[in-house]
Amino acid sequence: MDKVIKFLKQNVIIISILIIGIISYFLNSFGIINFSSDVVDLVNNYYVKYGLIVLFLSTLIEGFLFFGIYYIGSILVISSVVIANGDIFTILRIVLVVGTALCINVVLNYYIGVHMSSKKRDSLFNKIKPKSYKFFYFLHPTGIAYLSYSLGFEKKNVKVLFPVCLGVFLSGTIYSIIITSIVLFVI
C-alpha cells in the first residue's frame, strides 16, 4: 500500500493530465464539445469583445500546468497579434499582458513543484543536460509550466525564476515580431 501511495504522489501531475485528456477525448467523441472549431471561434469572439482581459485569463489558464495542454490560449495570442496588424503599441501591450500572465504561472507552477516534491528530491531531468533543454521550453506556455514545475520539484532557489520570467518576455517579443513579419509579408 505504501508503494502505491508513493507512486501516486510522485506521478500525480502525469495522472492528472491523463485524466483530463481522457475526459477531453470523451467530450469531443460524444460531440458535447467540439474542440476543433467551436472553442477556437468562442475564444476569438471573446477576445474581439473583451480584449486584453480575455487574453490575460486565457494565457493564465494555458500556462497553468494542469490545463495548458488542453486549452487553446496560444491560438488566441497568435490571433491577437495578427489582429494588431503591425501596430507596435498594440503588440507591446499584448506581449506585456501575456508575459505577466506567464510570469504569474511560473511562480504558481514553481510552488506546485515545491509542494509535490518528494523528500528524495528526485531530478525530473537527470538524463538531460541542464542548459540544453531550457531553450525549448519557451516554445510553448505548457513547456514553461513544466520548466517552472521542475525547478520547484527540485527545490531550486526562488532566484532562478527571474531568468525564466525574463525569457518569457524575450521569447514573447521574438514570437510577436516573427508573427507580425509573416502577416505583413503575406498581406
Residue 63 or residue 99, greater confidence: 99
At 115-171, the pLDDT tens digits run: 776 544 444 444 444 454 555 556 666 667 767 777 777 777 778 777 777 777 777
Nearest-angstrom CA–CA distance, 56 and 165: 16
Look at residue 128 in the predicted model and tell me its pLDDT. 43
* pTM over cut 0.85: no
Q: Which residues contact 35 (CB under 8 A, 6 or more apart)?
A: 24, 27, 28, 72
Backbone Cα Rg of the chain: 18
Domain residue extents for the chain: 42-186
